[in-house]
Amino acid sequence: MNKYTAQAETVDEAIQKALKELGIAKEEASIEIIDQGRKGIFKIGKKDAIVTVTKIAAENNAKDFFKESSAEVKTVKSSSASIDLVNEKAPVLAETTISEEEELSKETDTKRNDEEAIKMVADYLQEIIQKMGISSTVIIEETKKQVVFHIETEKAGLVIGKHGKVLNALQSLAQVLLHHHAKTKFNAVVNVGDYRERREDALRELAERTAAKVRRTKQPVFLEPMPASERKQIHFYLSKDDAVATHSEGTEPHRYLVVELK
């Protein structure tokens, strides 16, 4: 047996398993990682790593060595002008090619990592909602810096919760997981139907009413605790108002906004 495909919790464990089956050391093997696997969260979204290990035959190494040596001898016997040309240009070309290949490889690895992380978060959200006794489907919408997880369900009210508390909790979880597992620092948004759009309109109206009240009474207004993303929205809306200023007080998850005269 010259080749063995192994599966285990981690890549290293899978490699060791395959090496043991083949009865060889790591230096005598060619290793191909089929799947990096993933740990999952609380065993949700867990996936084993898969590798293929191939035994490298000593005679093949010798043949390759003598082939390379023969090619080098032929190169030496060529004209001096050809040798000078190769020596002058080859290192630059090789360096450029390697650099481009490395950059492409990094981009590919990052994209693959991001796709796996996003899929894991979507699976995790669906598992949580399922444990709430709610049937749902999670649709992923990805842009350059943001991933929106659209939850499609017939029980939208239960997923949203009172004042959006359940949905905001799911979004906080999604954000933490995505930051931890994806190489790209995406902003995570969890939405049901058009709730986020309607909530954005409501926050804009709240900001305008609050600013008007502060100008009228000349007293600060303390808003209800809300997620950081919603506080940022109100900060943004009122940043253009020359009469009022905003700041946050308290600790999460009970942090709230204060709107007052400048």
Q: Please check whether residue 54 is in contact with residue 30, taking contact to mean a CB–CB distance below 8 angstroms.
A: yes
Structural domain count, the chain: 3
CATH code of the domain containing 216: 3.30.1370.50
Task: Report yes or no on 86 lying in a domain.
Answer: no
Least confident of 50-59, 79-88, 130-139, 161-170: 79-88
For residue 28, pLDDT over 70 is answered with yes
Q: Cα(205)–Cα(238) distance, rounded to whole angstroms?
A: 11
Residues above pLDDT 70, as percent of the chain: 81
Same structural domain for residues 161 and 202? no
Is residue 24 very low, low, confident or very high in pLDDT (cuts 50, 70, 90)?
A: confident
Q: Is 219 a domain residue?
A: yes
19, exposed or middle or buried, with CB in 10 Å at 0-12, 13-18, 19+? Answer: buried
pTM of the predicted model, to two decimals? 0.58
| Nearest partner of 9 among 49, 64, 36, judged by Cα | 49
Question: 176 with 120, same domain?
Answer: yes
Confidence of residue 146 (pLDDT cuts 50, 70, 90): very high
Residue 82 forms part of a structural domain: no
Q: What is the mean pLDDT of residues 56-83?
A: 48
Could you tell me if residue 224 is inside a domain?
yes
Cα–Cα distance list, 135 to 79, 153, 172, 190, 207 (Å): 75, 6, 21, 16, 35
187, 228: one domain: no
Last residue of a domain, one of 193, 220, 235: 193
Burial class (CB in 10 A: 0-12, 13-18, 19+), 70: exposed
Choose the final residue of a domain: 169, 193, 217. 193
Q: Is the pLDDT of residue 261 over 60?
A: yes
Position of tokens 């940022």?
232
Range of the domain at 181: 111-193
**Peptide bond connecting 225 to the previous residue in cis, omega within 30 degrees of 0:** no
d(CA 244, CA 77): 83
Q: Show which of 193, 219, 246 is a domain's final residue.
A: 193
Structure tokens at 31: 């290793």
The answer to whether residues 182 and 203 belong to one domain is no
